[in-house]
């Protein structure tokens, strides 16, 4: 794994799996899944419910947040600066939820869970839509994710030391800690009935595609959820659904390399590749 020390922090750089994959547009296929897992955490759900305008401008919030998170990798060699800026946005997010439980965005479990859901989505994007990852690749990707998390400067006490222990911890969180919070319930409603506009698409085109696309996109998101979470939100997934989803994944794997590199990577990733001179933009 390629590492660069910035002060006392480790920055991810060229040669890492994050540098190769974290900027892929395919990652947006896992946004709803990652967002739902985040909002099902009581502390994270409360933070969004009481301190965010996400449900009044959902697309705008996503389009602002995702590039900043990608900057922890692609602002190399200054990703730690980006990470600390993101962390400081969350200092004031604290309070008490409707059940009387106190929450703080920088609580170690809460903050690491947010990071873990993004890491899990990156792993799943590679494993489902690119190639089945080897045990060595999984461990490398996880250790890179740990390096990225350390850059935020938040307590590491809940961070598992390796991939197998992360898998066990993630499964425990899904089974024992997640619940259908008010914020998570609203995200499910939003996914099934998307908002009236999308900033990157002309309004008339978006309105034509909005309702016809909502059901298949939600179906896809349900298929990417851990089974225990799928059951908790009351969704079913049959063997026929899985076979259909496998066929779709195969189509994505085969057609993705045929697209021009400039449309396969986000703007933040492309900027990092151009600045460093290393990346898949040839």
State pLDDT tens for residues 228-253. Answer: 999 999 999 999 999 999 999 999 99
Residue 264 lies in a domain: no
**172-176: long-range contacts at Cβ-Cβ below 8 A with a sequence spacing of 24 or more?**
173/41, 173/113, 173/116, 174/37, 174/226, 174/228, 174/229, 175/228
pLDDT at 122 over 80: yes
Asked, as a colleague might, if the bond just before 77 is cis with ω within 30 of 0, I would say yes
Number of structural domains the chain divides into: 1
Q: Considering only CA atoms, which of 138, 146, 161, 153 is closest in space to residue 3? A: 146
Beta bridge partners of 12: 3
Q: What percent of the chain has pLDDT over 70?
A: 88
Range of the domain at 227: 3-259
Residue 266 lies in a domain: no
Q: Provide the pLDDT confidence category of residue 127 given band limits of 50, 70 and 90.
A: very high
Give φ, ψ of 12 to 5 degrees.
Answer: -75, 150
Residue 276 lies in a domain: no
Residue 175 lies in a domain: yes
Residue 274 lies in a domain: no
By the 10 Å C-beta count (0-12 exposed, 13-18 middle, 19+ buried), 273 is classed as buried
Residue 24 lies in a domain: yes
Residue 59 lies in a domain: yes
Note the pLDDT of residue 65: 85
Q: Considering only CA atoms, which of 67, 34, 38, 72 is closest in space to residue 148? A: 72
CA distance 209 to 121: 25
Mean pLDDT of the chain: 90
Q: Provide the pLDDT confidence category of residue 60 given band limits of 50, 70 and 90.
A: low
Residue 245 lies in a domain: yes
């Amino acid at each position: 794994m390629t590492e660069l020390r910035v002060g006392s922090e480790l920055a991810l750089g060229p040669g890492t799996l994050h540098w190769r994959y974290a900027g892929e547009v395919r990652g947006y296929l896992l946004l709803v899944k990652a967002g739902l897992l985040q909002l099902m955490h009581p502390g994270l759900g409360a933070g969004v419910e009481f301190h965010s305008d996400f449900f009044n401008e959902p697309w705008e919030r996503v389009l602002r947040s995702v590039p900043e998170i990608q900057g922890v990798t692609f602002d190399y060699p200054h990703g730690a600066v980006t990470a600390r800026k993101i962390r400081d946005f969350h200092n004031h997010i604290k309070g008490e939820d409707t059940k009387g439980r106190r929450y703080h965005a920088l609580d170690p479990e809460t903050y690491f869970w947010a990071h873990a859901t993004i890491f899990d989505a990156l792993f799943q994007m590679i494993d489902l839509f690119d190639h089945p990852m080897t045990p060595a690749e999984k461990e490398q990707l996880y250790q890179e994710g740990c390096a990225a998390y350390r850059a935020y400067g938040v307590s590491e006490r809940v961070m598992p030391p390796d991939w197998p222990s992360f898998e066990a911890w993630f499964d425990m969180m899904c089974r024992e800690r997640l619940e259908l919070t008010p914020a998570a319930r609203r995200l499910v409603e939003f996914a099934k009935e998307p908002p009236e506009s999308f900033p990157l698409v002309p309004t008339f085109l978006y309105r034509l595609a909005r309702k016809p696309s909502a059901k298949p996109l939600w179906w896809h998101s349900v298929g990417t959820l851990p089974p225990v979470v799928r059951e908790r939100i009351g969704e079913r997934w049959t063997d026929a659904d899985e076979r259909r989803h496998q066929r779709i994944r195969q189509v994505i794997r085969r057609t993705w390399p045929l697209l021009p590199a400039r449309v396969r990577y986000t703007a933040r990733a492309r900027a990092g590749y151009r600045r460093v001179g290393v990346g898949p933009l040839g």
